[in-house]
Amino acid sequence: MNTITNMTNEKATFGAGCFWGVEATFRQTPGVISTQVGYMGGNTEAPTYENVCYDETGHAEVVEVTYDPSKVTYNDLLKIFWENHNPMTLNRQGPDIGTQYRSAVFYHTPEQAELAQNYKDMLTASDKFSRPIVTEITEAKPFWKAEEYHQQYLEKRGLSSCHI
């Protein structure tokens, strides 16, 4: 049986800045079946990278993660999400500035929404961050797959990360 079509697999979608490094991080996670980068949360059908970069669509750069919940939990994925970007900067990650780089959890089920909000609340209460968390938690909207040259971008170039 093809594991990608296994009915027990689930999807998670995260925006945490430039999608190249975010995708590479999730691809290294045991239990993650596949990833693809794309755009979500905007108001234009079939956006292009150029449209998104010029802030013409309202979309965020996101990574859609297909995972096996018997091997990795949604909370595990949330932990990776929160630990691998700065959730305190509005519309910015490192040198990348714009609404497409916003911190966002796009939930696919009410359970994901609750888990994401609980995780955010836990982090807020922990004082782990020096400023308020600006991460949006929003219902998943249509996912628009990014152009092929963006898929597994760092792997194709022999790079392990694009972190600064």
Active site includes 53? no
In angstroms, the CA 72 to CA 163 distance is 24
Question: How, if at all, do strands 60-67 and 32-40 pair?
Answer: antiparallel
Per annotation, catalytic residue among 16, 18, 32, 52: 18
Please spell the DSSP secondary structure of 47-64, one letter per residue: --HHHHHTTSS-PEEEEE
Q: Cα 144 to the chain's mean position, in Å?
A: 13
Positions annotated as catalytic residues are: 18
